[in-house]
Structure formats: structure tokens, C-alpha cells
Chains A and B, each alone.
Chain A
Amino acid sequence: MIQFSEGTLKKVQEIIARYPEGKQKSALIPVLHLAQQESGGWLDVPVMDYVAGLLQLEPIEVYEVVTFYSMFHTKPVGKYVLEVCQTGPCMLNGSDNIIAYIEEKLNIGPGETTPDGMFTLKTVECLGACGYAPMLQLGKFYKEHLTREKVDALIEECRSGATLAK
């Protein structure tokens, strides 16, 4: 049985209150962000069904939203998801090399997770950091002006379990 904590349920109520009466469906995407955070970074069917119940929606209304947006994962992901931008402006500044380097270093391809469950590599499209390319997103923050050395340091930081700051 899935059950949000008291604190999270309170947050859900706060979110619902932002929208007009009876339009609690508007809270769906913000609540899914919370749900994904509470469920190890991905949304399993029972979690989506739970969210549907919270917001008085049909489960299908939740599934169709989850599958539309690229930030929601429907399969397990590693503890750290490295989302490297590969669109034009980043490509002009060597994102291909960064992706190849991470592939080589972690021995996984885009979309794959390391056997120890630590890292998932994901290629993504423009994240709005084009002037600070090449870049990747890790959790809440962006890592910009990437070099091989910066990638090394970042992966070390993750492995050592340090809390990641901006």
C-alpha cells in the first residue's frame, strides 16, 4: 500500500488550493513531481493509481500525463541520473565528446543504468543553458561548462555520497 507522509499530504492540499474550486486536476503535474521524488525517482503503476485517488481522477488521466512528459520515468532509474544535453548549441561546444566520455567511463549507453544502480545516463534536448555548454542536469541542478575533469569530479562526488550542491 502506498501512502504519502503527513507532510507530503499537507503539501498536496496546499497545491490543490492554488487552483479554482473543483479544478484539482490542475495539481496533477506538481503532485506527480512529489510522488516521483518520494518513490525513488520513478513512477510505478500503483504510485500513479494512488495519485489518481488523491486527486479524484481516473487512473488513465494520470497515465496519459506521465507518459507525455519527459521528466517522468516509468521505469526504475539509478540513484544519480546524468541528463546530458545534446541539442545544437551544446553540440557546437562538444556535447558529443562529453556523452562519449561518460559512456566509456561508466560503461553504459544512453538510457542505461550501471549494474550497481548508481548511475543512469540519459541524453536530453535543450535545457536552456546553451550559453554555458556543454552541460548536464543532475537532480535539481545544472552542471555547466563541462570538461572531462569536471565529469570525473562529479562522478567521484556522487560515489562518495556527498550531498550535491549547485
Chain B
Amino acid sequence: MKLLLDKAHIEGIRFFDTYRKNGGYTAVEKALKMSPDEVVEEVKKSGLRGRGGAGFPTGLKWSFLAKPEGIPRHLVCNADESEPGTFKDRYLMEFIPHLLIEGLIVSSYALGSNNTYIYIRGEYAWIPDILEQAIEEARSNGWLGKNIQGSGFDCEIYVHRGAGAYICGEETALLESLEGKRGNPRIKPPFPAVKGAWDRPTVVNNVETLAAVVPIMNMGGAAYGNIGVGKSTGTKLISACGNLNKPGVYEIPFDLSVEEFIFSDEWCGGIPNGKRLKACIPGGSSVPILPASLLLTTSTGEKRLMNYESLSEGGFATGSMLGSGGFIVLDEDQCVVKHTYTLARFYRHESCGQCSPCREGTGWMEKILKNIEDGRGKMSDIDLLWDIQRKIEGNTICPLGDAAAWPVAAAIRHFRDEFEWHVTNPQEALT
């Protein structure tokens, strides 16, 4: 069942008229007939969890929004999407922009945000034009601006471009960046819901989360909550990449098995050239890598499913996480050491530098991994890597430290033999 991309294939859906003719903006109509608190209640009932990666219940977060008298509140849409393997928000914004705009209007109404911002990564340089056109169309049809559809509610949406910094996807770094500063994360608490943009109460939500508010309004929170498995309600966008016959963005039901997702023709169509599956990072580069056996079945021998609970079953010993839904597949010819090295380099490059464990640790991990990869490593380097990642984890201001540590830890945990092979076969390691 598709709830987000059900209309994505319709010719011209990028434009207002087509979108409206196909049932667009009915969620706004419905919301404006309710009180803001009733809209929040629907989202709570839906069980929707943040699609930016942390999976925090959206309705609960909205109910935490502080409402001090006389101080404006803001909704900020997180479109910074920079986690390696993740490109779902881009797809949504590029092909069905009005879905996001509609979700933003409903959410702004629920939260009382008269000025809402979309913070988009700077490299997605052509997408602001698409979004701004959609915003203009919505405005000229009376869905944005003053007194929307005669409801008395005013709302403006602005697109704000970043300029190349993964860390600005972390919500407090994003807010710093929105204020025109370096993207240095703030210490939480206070959470943005209490003290956010310009010190005002702010809700930061992912693109996909806000788009999901549209089907929730249309079908009702309870009906949405009935779709899915356990606490994984609704559907999820997965961006699949790496060694796959059909990489791309898919909207999946939460009861889909990982095996079916990778191998069935309806989904990713298997691995090119009939190669075998070696490993997979199922939720964006910062979640643990799993070898094929643990990926397809859980530690209890059940089929692993594409949802929050099943992917994390077994904890980090035998499981991983759904994260942002960035699904990276490695075939049997790929080198885990080399892949991990590129990720370590990524995190070193993206560390904001505020905390020593993250700033120094990411640099050391990159260097050591490069040495091992190049056949210049020692056996003791593997233990040293393990030691460094452990000292980063949990000792930093924001979770980028953990995000840098976990991929290294998981690679050593599950593929230690490959690291050792590089050390004992330096000549072959280089070729």
C-alpha cells in the first residue's frame, strides 16, 4: 500500500492543478475544520515516528512544544538529507513537492507556526526552484499567505539553503545554521521544542515525516496507526543503493522481509551479475553493517523484516537499525575495510570539531583504516580502532560521534577476519 508515492507517477503531479485534481489539499481542508490540538491528537493516534532517523513519536514531540504567551513558534522542515545512502527526501521534493507543502501547512496549523522554514542542503541546488514554485502556486490558490481559506490562519513557508555540511542535519546545528552561524550543535536539553530558532519554541521534523501528516489527516490517525507492524505504523520510504539491479526510492510496507526487498523483482531485483550478497547497512551509513546471514534472519531464526523493531532485534550484537532508511548493499567482491574507510573519512570531514573525542578520534580512525586498507597496518591497529571508537561513543555533544563510531565497531565485530587478512597479506591488500 502506498500512502506517500501513490500519486508520484501521475503526469504533471508536480503542478498544483494536477495535484489538486487528484485529491490534493483535502488534508488542509480537513485540518482547518478542526482545532490545532485536535490535529495534534490525530498525529498522536497515528503512531507516526520521526522519519529523520531517530524514530521519536511525532505527536508526542508536537505536544511538548512550549507555548509561552506572546512568543512566536516555528516549524522547521529538515531537508538537509546528507546521511550516506539516503536520498528519499530529495525524491519526494523533486517529484511530488505539493505533498510536502500540504503537510507543512497542516503541521504549521497544528503547531501555530505562522512562519515555517524548509532548511535544504545547499547541494540540492535545483530543488528550491521546484519548492518555491509549488509555494507560489499554493499561495495564488489561497492555501498559503493571510487568512488561509477563510480560516483566520496565516502561514508563510520559506526555503533556506544550507551550504555543504552534514552536521547541519542535526537539528540544533541546523538551527544555528538557520541563524547564520557555523553548524555547531547545541547541548540538549533544552530541546528545540522549548528553545529553538531565535530562542523560540521550534519543532524540527524530517521531510518524510511532514509529508506523512497528509495521509494521516485524510484517513484519520487511528486508521493510519492500524497499518504496519507494532510500533512501526504507516509506510516508509527506503532509498536503496550499492550493488543492486534496481537501486532507487521505494515506499515499503513494514511487514516486507529484507530478503524480498533485495531479491524480488518487484523491489530491488537482486544483485548485479548474479553475485552473492555479502553485507548491508540497512539504515544509512551511521547504523551498524550486518553480514548477509544476520541481515536476512534475526538471532532467533526469524525472517528479518524492514521495520524499526525487526531491524534492531538483537541489539548491536546481531542487529542494526532502520535509521533514515538508507539501504546500502555490498556484493561478495566488495571490501568491507575499504568501505568502512570511506565512511570514516566522511565523518572526519563532517565533524564540526567542538568535542575532542569526535574531532581527534575520527581523524585517527580514518588514518588507521587507510593504513590497514593499504597493507601497512599492524594487528594491534585493529584493537586500537576498537578502543578509539569506544572512547568516542557517548562522550560527545551530538550523536555524530556515535555515528562515526558505530560503523567502525560493527565492521570489526562482524568482519574482523577481513581486517586481519589485510594485515597478514599486505601485498594482496593493495591490489
**A interface with B by C-beta (< 8 Å):** 18, 20, 23, 25-30, 32-33, 55, 57, 61, 64-65, 68-72, 86-89, 91-93, 125-133, 137, 139-141, 166
Contact = CB atoms under 8 A, between A and B. Distances in A.
Contacts of B243: 92-93
A127 B123 contact: yes
- Most interface-central of A57, A126, A127 (chain B CB within 10 A): A126
B178 interface: yes
Contact of B166 (A25, A55, A92, A125): A125
A61 B86 CA distance: 32
B202 to A, nearest CB: 12
Given A125-B346, A131-B241, A68 B183 contact: yes
A69 B82 CA distance: 14
B240 interface: yes
Given A23-B179, A88-B339, A91-B338, A128 B121 contact: yes
Interface of B: 72, 81-87, 90, 115, 117, 121-126, 156, 158, 160-166, 177-183, 198, 239-243, 247-249, 285, 326, 328, 330, 334, 338-339, 342-343, 345-346, 349-350, 352
13 contacts: A25-B181, A26-B178, A32-B163, A68-B165, A87-B346, A89-B85, A89-B242, A92-B243, A92-B328, A92-B330, A92-B334, A126-B285, A131-B240
A120 to B, nearest CB: 15
Nearest to B89: A128
A20 B72 contact: yes
A54 B203 CA distance: 30
B198 A128 contact: no
Nearest to A29: B163
A92 B328 CA distance: 9
A128 B81 contact: yes
Contact of B350 (A30, A88, A125, A132): A125
Given A65-B182, A88-B84, A133-B241, A128 B124 contact: yes
A125 B247 CA distance: 19
B343 A68 contact: no
B160 A130 contact: no
Contacts of A131: 87, 239-241, 247-249
B267 to A, nearest CB: 13
A77 to B, nearest CB: 14
Contacts of A129: 87, 90
A74 to B, nearest CB: 13
Nearest to A88: B342
Contacts of A32: 163
A126 B156 CA distance: 31
B349 A125 contact: yes
Contact of B180 (A29, A86, A127, A128): A29
A130 B326 contact: yes
Nearest to A139: B125
A130 B328 contact: yes
A140 B345 CA distance: 25
A87 B343 contact: yes
Contacts of B247: 130-133
A141 B94 CA distance: 13
Contact of B182 (A33, A68, A125): A68
B123 to A, nearest CB: 5
Given A18-B158, A131-B248, A133-B241, A89 B163 contact: no
Contacts of B334: 92
Contacts of B161: 29-30, 33
B285 to A, nearest CB: 6
Given A29-B177, A71-B122, A88-B342, A130 B163 contact: no
A127 B165 CA distance: 11
A26 to B, nearest CB: 5
A89 B162 contact: no
A88 B163 contact: no
A130 B122 contact: no
Given A23-B198, A30-B161, A86 B342 contact: yes
A33 B121 CA distance: 12
Given A127-B123, A130-B239, A71 B164 contact: yes
Given A130-B87, A130-B239, 18 more contacts: A18-B156, A18-B160, A26-B179, A33-B122, A69-B183, A71-B123, A71-B164, A87-B343, A88-B339, A88-B343, A92-B243, A92-B330, A125-B84, A130-B86, A131-B247, A131-B248, A141-B125, A141-B126
